[in-house]
Amino acid sequence: MSMIVNRRDIDFLMYEVFDLEQILTTERYGDYDGQVITAVLDTAQTIAEDKFLPCAAKLDANEPTFDGTQVHIIPEVAEALAAYREAGFFSASFDEAVGGMQMPFMVSSAISGIFNCANIGIADYSFLTQANASMLNAYGNEIQKALFLPPMLAGRWFGTMCLSEPQAGSSLSDIRTKAEPDGQGRYLISGAKMWISGGDHALSENIIHMVLARIPGGPAGVKGLSLFIVPKVRVNDDGSLGADNNIALAGLNHKMGHRGTTNCLLNFGEKGDCYGTLIGEPHRGLSYMFHMMNEARIAVGYGAVMSGLAGYLYSLDYARSRPQGRHPHDKDPQSPQVMIIEHADVKRMLMAQKVYVEGGLSLVTYCAGLIDVQAVTQSVAEKAGLGLLLDILTPIAKSWPSEYCLEANKHAIQVLGGYGYTREYPVERFYRDNRLNHIHEGTHGIHGIDLLGRKVRMGGGAALDVLERGIGRTLKLAADVEILSGYADELDCAFKVLRKTAEDVAKTDNINLMMANATTYLDAFGHVVVAWMWLKQGLAAQKGLQKDKGEADFYEGKLAACRYFFRYELPTVYARFALVSSLDETCLDMNPEQFVGQ
């Protein structure tokens, strides 16, 4: 049993629950079939297990250091990234036209996921590089693409995203970094950027920063933000490296988790000219960012799932091999101890992990598949519908795994007991790593506001309509399956309450009150969506069970998990929706002095 991936589950999701096969029939993905994908996943798993996993604990315990001149990182990181680079994975999701492997996003996400699970501290570097290159590929001009894309897709240059500043984390409209035209087509960048993951290191020949900054004279707020390519080392017109571009590492942040990844405060242009080139048009930087955010946010959700999976697999393996205690009915202290997986409460904690992690995995896999269909469909209407569906599912795909796969990690620690709480075992590390995901790529609270304030309302509920139709198709199929039809009714009911809640909230025109409990809505909405995912998995498992009795354990486990989700989890949404519907003002009305009475 691998500690970083359940390949059977990946295949189940790709081929039995969702329709990767259909995607592979299209011209765009004609180079791929099941066999090729299996081989690619095999390669990823081998590299991840051989190069990423063995140094994960060491990297966590020996985080990068900065001596005032240079960043030092344990050598295993460069070795692991070299293997990743040699396998070509930096270019996995990019078009052949720009030298990429043109994999379906469903597959390239699974590959990234495997590396995330094995060693998030290393995988962060590759993730950020690919995110940066995606943006460049989508919005850069031909010269920019020719100059920067090839070395990034080859993994020789790495990338970052520079949005936040010390005084402006979530509030991008308060970004101050300046970009002044130098009159020769370039811009002089000056300002400080905070929380820049992978912001400095010696792992690559160059680091390409994607920087949000203001061109003087532009509008205030987010409408005045432009996007720039700003390399650590200047790049000559022929692609060779030039002089240092005056981006100073002002300090490393020391995180609770993700310790392997440098996280930097960077000063641009403090000690000399720092040049950048504009991407696309001035003042449109944020809209470019937003266009890439669905993918980036699904990727964050995917990462949260994989940190959860790491804990689930480890604690499952531990529970199967650790003897301790006896069943409640066994009062004989001389009878042999049972493996702790025999204890009902340990099973419950493993089951909770299973439904969170595999539920989350199905959600992010589904979303990745939507992006693939979006890329190949010829139908304008279908494209639009997929866009709406992705818009409404993205806050869920990012947030739900962040919340519940962290909860899974909490359970993983508990399964190991005292051992789980020590750094001699990896589960506490996964817990620390996963806590990040509520914060970056839009905080949990921001996604709540995005969902309840924008996504459920846009186009008169158009995105909800698309979601409802999608769920409706599953309900129809499940209605004919005896053991699932009851769950179909429950999901139907929960979705109706979800919609009704959005309508109830819309009745006030006090926007502050409307949004006051948006996070609670986000969490409960996520539960409904994941219940849908479990019903889909239940259907596929039921089908599989009829076909292949040899895999009964796998399919029975899926059906039990589906049952668990509908019995233990879905019923929790009603109290939450009721609270949101009631437009409760308790929190909103609190004065700062009332919290502790001074």
- Of 364, 389, 219, 212, the closest CA to residue 290 belongs to 212
Least gap, CB of 218 to a copy of itself (angstroms): 11
Measured CA angle at 129 (ends 260, 141), to 5 deg? 160
Least gap, CB of 443 to a copy of itself (angstroms): 6
Least gap, CB of 399 to a copy of itself (angstroms): 12
In whole angstroms, what is the distance from residue 305 CA to residue 311 CA? 10
Least gap, CB of 140 to a copy of itself (angstroms): 27
**Of 237 and 593, which CB lies nearer to a copy of itself in the complex structure?**
593
DSSP label of 485: H
Here the tokens at position 159 are 């990338």
Least gap, CB of 563 to a copy of itself (angstroms): 5
Q: Give the CA distances from residue 572 to residues 476, 478, 566, 567, 596, in Å, rounded to whole numbers and listed in that order.
A: 24, 22, 10, 9, 30
b/e string for 458-477 if b means 16 or more Cβ within 10 A? Answer: eeebbbbbbbbebbeebbeb
**Of 9 and 372, which CB lies nearer to a copy of itself in the complex structure?**
9
Least gap, CB of 422 to a copy of itself (angstroms): 5
Least gap, CB of 471 to a copy of itself (angstroms): 21
In whole angstroms, what is the distance from residue 372 CA to residue 377 CA? 9
**Of 345 and 503, which CB lies nearer to a copy of itself in the complex structure?**
345
In whole angstroms, what is the distance from residue 281 CA to residue 268 CA? 21
Least gap, CB of 432 to a copy of itself (angstroms): 7
**Of 49 and 584, which CB lies nearer to a copy of itself in the complex structure?**
584
- Between the two ends of the chain, the Cα-to-Cα distance in Å is 56
Residue 593's Cβ-side half-sphere holds a number of Cα atoms within 13 Å equal to 1
CA dihedral sign, ordered 147, 148, 150, 155? positive
Residue 350's Cβ-side half-sphere holds a number of Cα atoms within 13 Å equal to 20
**Of 236 and 337, which CB lies nearer to a copy of itself in the complex structure?**
337
**Of 131 and 274, which CB lies nearer to a copy of itself in the complex structure?**
131
**Structural contact between residues 126 and 112, judged by C-beta atoms closer than 8 angstroms:** yes
**Structural contact between residues 232 and 195, judged by C-beta atoms closer than 8 angstroms:** no
CA dihedral sign, ordered 423, 112, 240, 194? negative
CA dihedral sign, ordered 545, 548, 549, 553? negative
Q: Give the CA distances from residue 19 to residues 16, 370, 372, 568, in Å, rounded to whole numbers and listed in that order.
A: 7, 10, 11, 29
Least gap, CB of 327 to a copy of itself (angstroms): 6
Q: In residues, how long is the chain? A: 598
**Of 204 and 517, which CB lies nearer to a copy of itself in the complex structure?**
517
Least gap, CB of 500 to a copy of itself (angstroms): 17
Least gap, CB of 394 to a copy of itself (angstroms): 19
**Of 243 and 483, which CB lies nearer to a copy of itself in the complex structure?**
483
**Of 293 and 415, which CB lies nearer to a copy of itself in the complex structure?**
415
DSSP label of 567: I
Least gap, CB of 334 to a copy of itself (angstroms): 5
Q: For residue 78, give the amino acid letter.
A: A
**Of 146 and 552, which CB lies nearer to a copy of itself in the complex structure?**
552
**Of 188 and 578, which CB lies nearer to a copy of itself in the complex structure?**
578
**Of 94 and 356, which CB lies nearer to a copy of itself in the complex structure?**
356
Q: For residue 388, give the amino acid letter.
A: L
**Structural contact between residues 207 and 161, judged by C-beta atoms closer than 8 angstroms:** no
